[in-house]
Amino acid sequence: MQILVQKFGGTSVQDKQSREHVINHIEKAVIDGFKLVVVVSALGRRPSAYATDSLLDLVDFPEHSITSRELDMLMACGEIISSVVLSNELKKKSIKSVALTGAQAGILTNADYNQAKIKEVNPTRIQNEFKQYDVVVVAGFQGKNALGELTTLGRGGSDTSAAALGAALKASRIEIFTDVNGIMTADPRVVKNARALDIVSYREICNLAYQGAKVIHPRAVEIAMHAKVPILVRSTYEKSGGTLVTTETSKTLGVDVSDRLVTGIAHLANISQIKVQTKEKEAYRMQSEVFRAMADAGISIDFINIYPTGVVYTVPDVQTKKATAILKENGFKPNVMKDCTKVSVVGAGMTGVPGVASRIVQALTGQGVQILQSADSHTTIWVLIPNKDVYKAVNALHEEFNLSRESTILHDFLTER
Ligand code: ADP
Ligand code: ASP
Ligand code: MG
């Protein structure tokens, strides 16, 4: 039995017209002889009534008074509604289908409400349903914990559900259907001439996804990589195309893997830079106190630089008020800059190549973009800039690394194929 997992995001299932496209893809796969697990997101985006953000609005998130357990009960409804609506429409087209919640589909998680991690997938129920049905529609973004309570997997988590089910069922492929033509060299909403990548390694995409390329969730890429199941990211509104995410793209074993210098540019907006300074002799105490205070308050920090008289780091804008209050309570005088964006230039091939950082700085300063902070690893260079400059910055970097043109490595692979 050949199993295919298809995941459809919020915009893909938002209304009857979009779901016609969804049903066509499902019907084609059934005709091709696959048994299908179809993972769905909640219907549409805010202000659609059953979109996740609209459900959160019902309890005035983030100023709500309910527990994180109850928040998960609310959020899980969006995907459950979506699974039943789609299954109903499939049945109307005489496609044999059944809807399951994430828990019914065998997704077991830890008890970390709102951000649960998948501990186990028991595929028995889905395998049994395949005796009777061709399509099992599963509500994405959710599972249950050991107490049987509903949990959700963190925003964008339907991708993770799809990858986990694909891995557990040893699917031939996981197809992520969305509103763009694949994984692109930058967010197409920001860079008009961003180009869809044809084939990329899990490694390259994991990096891009972690840095904010929200077209696929990084945990989904990790799960698929571990299980060696290829992912195809493609548009719901096109019959073909998309980005194939698989193992390294060179066919020849035993030679160095030739990676792209830069695969793409990702960005994460709405973060705050916090600087805390002190006299040099008090620095050790201050540094450990600041980080301990953030950890104790459950505030996740990023982009950390430590220097002899201070520390600088970032937090999401939504956490800034809390972080600042805690620092003041501890006797510090933080310097806060809100509304910043972290821009990441990602490419596994930049290791050891001189001049990449200098090209980034020149491209940005040439456009008058102020760099507030920077850092690098062997595959990524990050810069922090003001939100207002994001279009200028991402477009300048995209241009600097010629990302709208096909790279030679990609070309070599395609001609070999
Ligand atoms: P879905 O609801 O289908 O899961 P998402 O909104 O989560 O869709 O992800 C798709 C969106 O991701 C696109 O509309 C696009 O604006 C954004 N995006 C950000 N970076 C990239 C990228 N590098 N390639 C493609 N899309 C990207
Ligand atoms: N509906 C959830 C969200 O908006 C999960 C998803 O779409 O993947 O985050
Ligand atoms: Mg998504």
pLDDT digits (tens, 9 = 90+) for 209-239: 999 999 999 999 999 999 999 999 999 999 9
- Cα separation, 47 vs 173, in Å, equals 33
- The alpha carbon of 178 and the centre of ligand 1 are apart by a number of angstroms equal to 7
Q: Is the pLDDT of residue 408 over 50?
A: no
Choice among 152-156, 253-257, 316-320 with the minimum mean pLDDT: 253-257
Identify the pLDDT of residue 20: 98
Q: Which residues contact 153 (CB under 8 A, 6 or more apart)?
A: 109, 115, 116, 117, 118, 141, 142, 143, 160, 161, 219
pTM, to two decimals: 0.92
Q: Is the CB of 12 under 6 A from ligand 2?
A: no
Instruction: Report which of residues 63 and 382 the model is more confident about.
Output: 382
Identify the pLDDT of residue 352: 82
Instruction: Report which of residues 249 and 160 the model is more confident about.
Output: 160
Q: What is the CATH number that goes with domain 265-400?
A: 3.30.2130.10
Q: Is the CB of 41 under 6 A from ligand 2?
A: yes
Domain range summary for the chain, segments of one domain joined by +: 3-254, 265-400
Q: What is the pLDDT of residues 80-110, one digit of tens each?
A: 999 999 999 999 999 999 999 999 999 999 9
Phi (first) and psi of residue 295, to 5 degrees = -65, -45
- Out of 8, 52, 236, mutate this one to test ligand 2's pocket (max ligand atoms within 8 Å of CB): namely 52
Q: Is the CB of 215 under 6 A from ligand 1?
A: yes
- Cα separation, 44 vs 69, in Å, equals 24
- The alpha carbon of 12 and the centre of ligand 3 are apart by a number of angstroms equal to 11
Number of C-beta neighbours around residue 196 at 10 A: 17
Say if strands 310-316 and 264-277 run parallel, antiparallel, or are unpaired. Answer: antiparallel
Answer for the pair 204, 413: CB distance below 8 angstroms, yes or no: no
Instruction: Report which of residues 292 and 249 the model is more confident about.
Output: 292
Q: Is the pLDDT of residue 258 over 70?
A: no
Query: In the chain, what percentage of residues exceed pLDDT 90?
Result: 86
Name the pLDDT band for 412 (thresholds 50, 70, 90): very low
- The alpha carbon of 10 and the centre of ligand 2 are apart by a number of angstroms equal to 7
- Would the CATH topology of 3-254 be identical to that of 265-400? no
Q: List the strands of the sheet with 199-201, edge to edge.
A: 97-100, 135-139, 35-40, 3-8, 173-178, 231-235, 243-246, 199-201
- The alpha carbon of 342 and the centre of ligand 1 are apart by a number of angstroms equal to 17
Structure tokens at 411: 């070309």
Q: Is the pLDDT of residue 75 over 60?
A: yes
Q: What is the CATH number that goes with domain 3-254?
A: 3.40.1160.10
- Cα separation, 324 vs 406, in Å, equals 45
Q: Is the CB of 157 under 6 A from ligand 2?
A: yes
- Mean pLDDT score, 21-32: 98
Q: Is the CB of 140 under 6 A from ligand 2?
A: yes
Mean pLDDT (the chain, rounded) = 93
- Closest Cα to atom 21, ligand 1: which residue? 187
DSSP character at residue 68? H
